[in-house]
Amino acid sequence: MSSGKTRVKICGLTRPSDMDAVAAAGAAYSGLVFFARSPRCVTPEQARAIALAAPPGLARVGLFVDAGDAFFDAVLAVTPLDFLQLHGSESPERMAELRARYGLPLIKAVGVADADDLPRLTDYGRHADMLLVDAKPPRDAALPGGNGLAFDWRLIAGRRWPVPWMLAGGLTPGTVADAVALTGATQVDVSSGVERAPGDKDPDLIRRFCAALA
């Protein structure tokens, strides 16, 4: 499933009906958040019901932040996932451990605020299967992502890394086409930009976001 030439990930689903909306809009990826401080956090049992609503071809991504093996085990014992998205300070060694333990491809989120952050994308690109280029959260932010913040897209315009990458950070139905045009991104990720309130996805905004890239 895809939306035009640009593949879309809708992250932070909290209900099976959200998955129905994501599928209907033609997104390629769906995201489930397993981070207790997030308003989009779901339990493994809730996540299972949402994940099972995905039609064939719609990838299910689990978002984790510096989680231990016991927590990964508990989630994956009940929730079918196709990717693990790492949104913390996971080291290359930890990433290798997770890949060996679970056999799932890894998406590594890297926050960008200025040019000094760009080398980390190259470094992590040697160890991840995909990169998620996100806005770097403020120092006092409670969440490592999903803050609705954008960064200066000109920083990554025309750049390439060792693995495929996805653009995130403050995207909305009104800005995503410009962001893709400027950066050359072939994949994008959105969470707060398609919500009525934190954790409350709006099917119409999801449809409009995907339609903006058709």
Task: Write the CA distances from 140 to 136, 137, 157, 206, integer angstroms.
Answer: 11, 8, 28, 29
**Residue from 11, 18, 189, 210 carrying the catalytic annotation:** 11
Annotation marks residue 41 as catalytic: no
Torsion angle of the four alpha carbons 135, 140, 146, 150, in this order, in degrees rounded to the nearest 10: -30
Angstrom distance (rounded) from CA 88 to CA 100: 19
The secondary structure of 102-164, three-state, reads HCCCEEEEEEECCHHHHHHHHHHHCCCCEEEEEECCCCCCCCCCCCCCCCCHHHHCCCCCCCC
Structure tokens at 164: 């495929």
Annotation marks residue 189 as catalytic: no
**Residue from 18, 69, 134, 178 carrying the catalytic annotation:** 134
Q: State the helix-helix crossing angle for 69-76 and 92-102, rounded to 10 degrees.
A: 30
Tell me which residues are annotated as active site. Answer: 11, 134
